Every structure is written in C-alpha cells, then in structure tokens.
Structure 1
Amino acid sequence: MNPQIVLFGANGFLGRYLARYYQLQGREVVCVARSRDGWSGDGMFLEWDGKTLGPWALALEGAERVINLAGRSVNCRYDERNRREIMDSRVASTHVIGEAIAACKVPPKLWMNSSTATLYRHAEDCPQDEWTGEPGTGFSVGVAQAWEEAFFAAQVPGATRKVALRTSMVMAYEDGTVFEVLRHLTRRGLGGRMDAGNQRVSWIHMDDFISAIEFIAAEPWRDGVYNIAAPEHPTNRELMQAFREQQGAPFGLPASRWMLEIGARVMKTETELVLKSRWADPLRLRQEGFRWRWPKLDTALADLEGRYGLEGFFHQPDRRSAGVRVWTPGKKIAAGSR
C-alpha cells in the first residue's frame, strides 16, 4: 500500500488541486469533506460534519500526512451568522482532527493545518515574517489566531509533526478565483488601482503552493509556522498593472473606496479582501532553500492564462508560450491554448 495522504476540505479550491496532484503522483489519497459537491473525483471520498468523530477517523491510522484545509469561505458579507460559521468551521474541524489523531494507535507522521497570511498587521512599510511579524486587529485576525491556537493546543502524540500554513492568495485560473475575478475586471476596463493602490499583495502560484507543501514535508525537522507566499510582493497598483499588461488592456479605471464598498455589497463580499495590505515574507522558505518556479508576477500570470480549470492546470505541454494578447472583452481562453 502506498503512503496515505488524508485531505480535509478536499472539495474546496486548494483541496481539489492537491487531490489531483497526489493522485497523479500515484499516492493513496483519502478526501474528506462535508459533501461531494466540488470534489474532483480523485482518491477515496469520506464524508464528515466537521465537528464530531466518525468513521473518517480510521483513515488517519498510520497516515503519512494529514492536511486540513477545511473552513467556510471568507468571500462573503461578515454578518453575524457568517462570522460565526467562518470561525466555527475552522476551529471545530481543527479540534476534532486533533481528537482523532490523539486516539490513533499509529498516529500520522505529519499534520499540516491551514492558516492565513491575513493574521499579520496591515503593512505597507515592511514585510512580516514568521519570526518578527506582528498580528493585526479585527475579525479576520481573530479567526486566524483562534485557528492556530486550536491547532497548536491539540494534544497529539509527539510522533506527529505539526505545521501551520499561513497561506497568501493562491492563483490558479478557474471561475471565482482571485486570478479569474481580476482578469475579468481587467478585460472590461476596470483593472485600475483599488483605493490608493499602495496596499501590498501577497500571492503564490498554485504550482509553488503545492511544491512548498512537498518541500516542508520532506524534512522531519521542519515544523511550526510557514508563510506560503511568493518572494515578490507587489502593491495593488503594480498588481493591476501586471494584469493589464498580460491582458493587453489599454486602460484600467481606478476604483475609490466608496466605489469598492458599493461593489462589495453587490457581490456580497467584503472590501477588506482587497484593501488590507498583506506583506507576508516567506522567510523560512527562503532561508531553507526553497526554489520558486514562479517568483515573478508577470511570468506567473502569463503561465496561468493557458491553464484554465483543473484539467488545464495539470495538462502541461512541453513548450507553451503566452503569445500576443489582444484585448477582447468577455473572451475566455480555452484550456491548453497558446
């Protein structure tokens, strides 16, 4: 039997890509989620409720790796109900996974738990690394702190290594992702700066997100907290300029704060997702020798343009060129196009 990978929240954005990656690697993958909706079909599927022990806990026995990505999407309005669900979905799932690992006769070798780069304070003046970074304030920061507290407080056997992944915005090209939304706005002439445009943006290409997880898992001494981000941290102004250049957009109308507030209400989301400055420095990855395949934003955007959807992402021709882009609003590039 191949070493077993157990993915929680496997029907979400990151979970589907990891499940497909491990399946293509020939690994035995167990996907755990509240429902099959969104599941990629890779590996074995087990259902859970995210808060109580169940048959799914048996999959953790002797597992090589447990990766918890469970948590309600933050792309919503932060009303009382959504705030409660966002918090509970992260903390409760982490608690119950800890209980399941504690009860294992042969505990997993590694437990990776999602966290977020949103934990750090609003920073336009200096990067925030794992050692000296300062937490900010507000609801999102409170969620991140409660999430990590539940993770590190879980009393699991010493044989189980723990790693918290403070992940920045992960870019892949499919509907509803950061990449697709900003691409969509840019192609309609709305790809200008947002507010002052000075807020920093931490991001990472999906290829490097997956590679970072493999890099951390490879050495038994790597534990604690890791910032999962690219080494380049553009301002929002620079980010939108890169999108305009990639899409061949001749202009991009800027959006003031009041315009963003209206747009956020219409889209049923929060302006914090684009206005907060996130400058998460992946210091540990850099110091330990991780090599990014896509360290630069412009080349990352060019690569993702031709890799639409899960199938397109993992279908990589030997040679691929971004080519010359002509600004044609509303046109979607097909998977694998050149």
Structure 2
Amino acid sequence: MNPQIVIFGANGFLGRYFARHYQGQGREVVCVARHREGWSGDGMFLEWDGRTMGPWALALEGAERVINLAGRSVNCRYDARNRRQIMESRVDSTRVIGKAIAACKVPPKLWMNSSTATFYRHAEDRPQDEWEGEPGEGFSVDVARAWEEAFFAAAVPGATRKVALRTGMVLAYEDGTVFEVLRHLTRRGLGGRMGKGDQRVSWIHMEDFIAAIEFIAAEPWRDGVYNLTAPEHPTNRELMQTFREQQGAPFGLPATRWMLEIGAQVMKTETELVTKSRWADPRRLREEGFRWRWPKLETALADLEARHGLEGFFYQPDHRSAGVRVWTPGKKAAAGSR
C-alpha cells in the first residue's frame, strides 16, 4: 500500500515542483486545482472550485500527506476585487479542506498549509522567529492572519497533524518567478537597489524548500508554525548586488519609489512585493537540526542558473549512457545542464 500525497493548487509554481518530486519518488500523487492549465502532468488530476465539497474529497481518505498551496497569485494590483479574491481563495480553500478531512473515516496523517513570511512586523534590529515574532500591519498581514486562523480553527481529528508554512520567496529558474524576473532586469542594466534598498529579503532555494517539507514531515511531534526561509537575510541592495555579480553585470540602475510605482502599474503588480521588508528567521528548522544545502545566496543563484525550468531542475546525467543526458525525476540537476 502506498498512501497518497494530495497537493492542492498543484498547477501553480510550487505545486508543480512538489508533484514532480513525489512522482520521482514513486509516490501516489493526487493533484487538485481549479483547472489543468499549468499542471505538470505528474500524478492524477482532480478538479475543484476551491470552495465546496466534491469528488476530490475522496482522495483525502487515508492520505499520508495533504499539502495546500491554493490561493490567487499576489502578483497583481491590489484593487478591491483582487484583494477580495486573494483573501477568499486562501480562506475558503482552507476551510473546505478542513471540512473534508473532518468527514474522513481514516483522516490524513499530516496537513500542511501555506502561509507567508510577510506575517511579521518589520524590526530594524532583528529578524522575527516563530516563538517571539510579532505580526505586522497591512493587507498582506491581514491575509496571513485570516489564512492561519482558518487553518488552525478547522476541527479535524486529532490524528491529523497540522503545520503552517510561513514561506519566504522560493527561488527556482522558472519563467515569471522572482528569480527569472530579477535575472532579466539585471541582464538589462536595471539590477540596482529598489526603493531605499535596506528592506530585508527572506528567500529559500527550491531544493531546500522541498527538503524542509520532508524534514518537518519526518517527525510526528513537529507541528504548529514553521518559517521556511534560508538562514541568510540579505537587504534588497545586497540581493541585487549578488544578482549583478552572478550575471556579470557591471552596473545596475537603481529604482526610486516613484519609478517602482510607474513600473508596477505597467506590469499590473504592487510595489509592496519588492519594497516591503521580510525578515523571518527559520529558528525552528535551525534548532531542530535542519541543514540547508544552499544557505548562501551567491551559491544558490549560481546553482539555479544551470537548472532552467521544471525539467532542468530535475535533470540528472546518466553516466551509463556515454554522456547522453536523460531525465531522472526527483534528483538534482548536474551543473551546466539546461
């Protein structure tokens, strides 16, 4: 018997990588999303509306792990309509998953639910950890609090362990993601500081993100809230300098607040995504013995440069085939592969 891994929001950025990872391990993967667009093709696909019960709920019966990544992208203008959709897509999906788990005869062993490192207030002198960190203010924080409240308030059986994942920026060389956008700007001479440049950046390499999920899942006593970030927290100025060094860019024009506002309107996004300070300390991971493979930004960027897209990320050379590259799911790419 191979209990299934159920991934909600499986057609999104993180969901695709998780589905490919677990498929590569030979696990039974069930991918749940509103539509097939963006789905990696791994596992079995089930459709839902993110609000109401449906046939998808049967997949939770006896599941080993449920990972909820569902939620409308925050890469948009924060008008009233988008704010409502961002909030409802996270809260409604979390609530209905909780109801489905409560109705299971054999409930899942583990329910992991996305949250965000944006939860914390900005402190000039220290990062915010899971034990002593304080919530901040603003729309993004309101979303995070409502999201987690819906998660922890869900009345599921005691056999189902709950973990909320306060995640920083996950870096992988995927088109349209933070890594690709900053790389693109840097190569065009626009890789200078953004705004004041002193805002902190909480980030994590995709490989460490997946490894941290496995680490948390491995012990039944690990529950509650975890910060999923790298142990290093560069400022935006330091982040962009590292990108310039990685891309061999001799200079990078800085972007003032008003320039960012104009650019955000053109790109239909919000300046908050780059100007807000996110300084989350992964204290629990560190104290419980997790070891990052990519703790330093410069080595993380260098590694990702050679792993473009989902296929590139999971490529592994087959030394038995006289140097011909083949795809081996679930394993790290060799340096230089594309």
User: Structure 2-normalised TM-score?
Assistant: 0.94
The aligned residue for residue 167 of structure 1 is 167
Cα contact 1:191–1:240 (8 A) shared by 2: yes
Q: What is the letter of the counterpart of residue 281 of structure 1?
A: D
The aligned residue for residue 105 of structure 2 is 105
Cα contact 2:315–2:337 (8 A) shared by 1: no
> Residue 193 in 1 paired to residue 196 in 2?
no
> Residue 278 in 1 paired to residue 278 in 2?
yes
Distance 1:122 1:271 in 2: 16
The aligned residue for residue 253 of structure 1 is 253
The aligned residue for residue 231 of structure 1 is 231
**How far has the Cα of 1:174 moved from its partner?**
1.2
The aligned residue for residue 312 of structure 1 is 312
Cα contact 1:20–1:42 (8 A) shared by 2: yes
The aligned residue for residue 327 of structure 2 is none
The aligned residue for residue 288 of structure 1 is 288
SS of 2:142's partner is: helix
SS of 2:77's partner is: coil
User: Structure 1-normalised TM-score?
Assistant: 0.94
The aligned residue for residue 16 of structure 1 is 16
Cα contact 1:171–1:205 (8 A) shared by 2: yes
**How far has the Cα of 1:317 moved from its partner?**
4.3
Change (3 A) 1:317 1:231: farther
Bigger Cα displacement from structure 2, 119-128 vs 42-51: 119-128
Distance 2:124 2:95 in 1: 34
**How far has the Cα of 1:124 moved from its partner?**
3.4
Tell me the percent identity: 87
Structure 1: unaligned runs, 5 residues or longer: 320-334
What is the 5 A alignment of 1:262-273?
A: 262-273=262-273
The aligned residue for residue 128 of structure 2 is 128
Q: What is the letter of the counterpart of residue 143 of structure 1?
A: V
Structure 2: unaligned runs, 5 residues or longer: 320-334
Q: What is the letter of the counterpart of residue 154 of structure 2?
A: A
Cα contact 1:115–1:165 (8 A) shared by 2: yes
SS of 2:215's partner is: helix
**How far has the Cα of 1:2 moved from its partner?**
1.2
SS of 2:179's partner is: helix
The aligned residue for residue 85 of structure 1 is 85
Distance 1:173 1:251 in 2: 22
The aligned residue for residue 220 of structure 1 is 220
SS of 1:264's partner is: helix
Distance 1:41 1:238 in 2: 38
SS of 1:165's partner is: strand
**How far has the Cα of 1:213 moved from its partner?**
0.3
RMSD in angstroms over aligned alpha carbons?
A: 1.2
Bigger Cα displacement from structure 2, 307-316 vs 217-226: 307-316
The aligned residue for residue 208 of structure 2 is 208
Q: What is the letter of the counterpart of residue 252 of structure 1?
A: G
**How far has the Cα of 1:242 moved from its partner?**
0.3
The aligned residue for residue 72 of structure 1 is 72
Cα contact 1:124–1:279 (8 A) shared by 2: no
What is the 5 A alignment of 1:298-337?
A: 298-317=298-317, 336-337=336-337
Runs of 4+ in 1 over 4 A off after TM superposition: none
Distance 2:86 2:175 in 1: 22
**How far has the Cα of 1:125 moved from its partner?**
2.3
SS of 2:184's partner is: helix
Distance 1:155 1:30 in 2: 23
Cα contact 1:308–1:336 (8 A) shared by 2: no
1:114-163 CA distances to partner (integer Å, 9 max, x unpaired)? 00000111233210000011111000000000000000000000000000
> Residue 51 in 1 paired to residue 40 in 2?
no
**How far has the Cα of 1:240 moved from its partner?**
0.2
> Residue 176 in 1 paired to residue 152 in 2?
no
Distance 1:318 1:305 in 2: 21
The aligned residue for residue 114 of structure 1 is 114
1:9-52 CA distances to partner (integer Å, 9 max, x unpaired)? 00000000000000000000000000000000000000000000
